[in-house]
A = this chain, B = another copy of it.
Amino acid sequence: MKVVIFGAEQFASLAWYVLTHDSSHEVVGFTVDAAWCHTSTKHDLPVVPFERLEQYFPPKEYALLISLGWTRCNGLRAAKYAEGKMRDYSLVTYVSSRAVVWPDLQVGENSMIYEGAIVEPFARIGSNCILRNGCNVAHHAVIGDHVFMAAQAVVAGGATVGERCFLGLNSTIRDGVTVAPGCFVAAGALVTTDTEPDGLYVGVPARRRPLPQDL
């Protein structure tokens, strides 16, 4: 499928690279909001304003991949994902050939599962999620929509991670625990009990702290 990537920074370059080398998709361009459209090409492909994407890459012929990080607690990626769907684009999902997954893999659209990530049987991954390199989702765990799991984050058996959560580098969610929607789990944090929504959790074991306004 011919795919346009939303994003123009290093994270979009990474998405371009893995799709090009490890998927059946062909990346044909990049798109960002006109206000951020400071260059006309990237990796020898056109960069076009998202506001007028249909002019260049109409949704009947081209699919979209929103490759944004966890800015605004994943809210920016969620918004662009919603807008892409509303404008009738199909959203592609990428599962690395070097991710460790099983035949029963359940994953939504516009999700990316990077190399070395593990998703065990009976786990479920929502839509618009990013599972970075070497992260780990154990059996019967449920990952909601718009979640970002950083490298080596681990979610143990039967845990639940609500939508829009961010799980930092090397963070750990214990088995059976529920992380409420919108939580930000800091790098290295260990979550051992259920959390409250939209909380910032830091430390080993993790304690709640006020969520900064600018997150």
- Chain A residues in contact with chain B, CB under 8 A? 10-11, 13-14, 17-18, 21, 98, 100, 102-104, 114-116, 118, 120-122, 132-134, 136, 138-140, 150-152, 154, 156-158, 169-170, 172, 174-175, 187-188, 190, 192, 203-205
Contacts and interface: CB of A to CB of B under 8 A. Distances in A.
6 contacts: A10-B140, A13-B122, A13-B140, A100-B133, A151-B156, A152-B154
A194 to B, nearest CB: 16
A10 B122 contact: yes
Contacts of A132: 138
User: What's the number of copies of this chain in the assembled complex?
Assistant: 3
Contact of A115 (B18, B118, B174): B118
Given A98-B100, A136-B152, 15 more contacts: A11-B157, A14-B139, A14-B140, A17-B121, A17-B139, A115-B120, A116-B116, A133-B136, A134-B134, A150-B156, A152-B154, A172-B187, A187-B192, A188-B188, A188-B190
Contacts of A188: 172, 188, 190, 204-205
A11 B158 CA distance: 10
Given A116-B100, A138-B151, A140-B10, A121 B174 contact: no
A14 B138 CA distance: 10
Contacts of A122: 10, 13-14, 17
B118 A134 contact: yes
Q: Can you list the 4 inter-chain pairs with the closest CB atoms, starting with the nearest? A: A17-B121, A188-B190, A14-B139, A116-B118
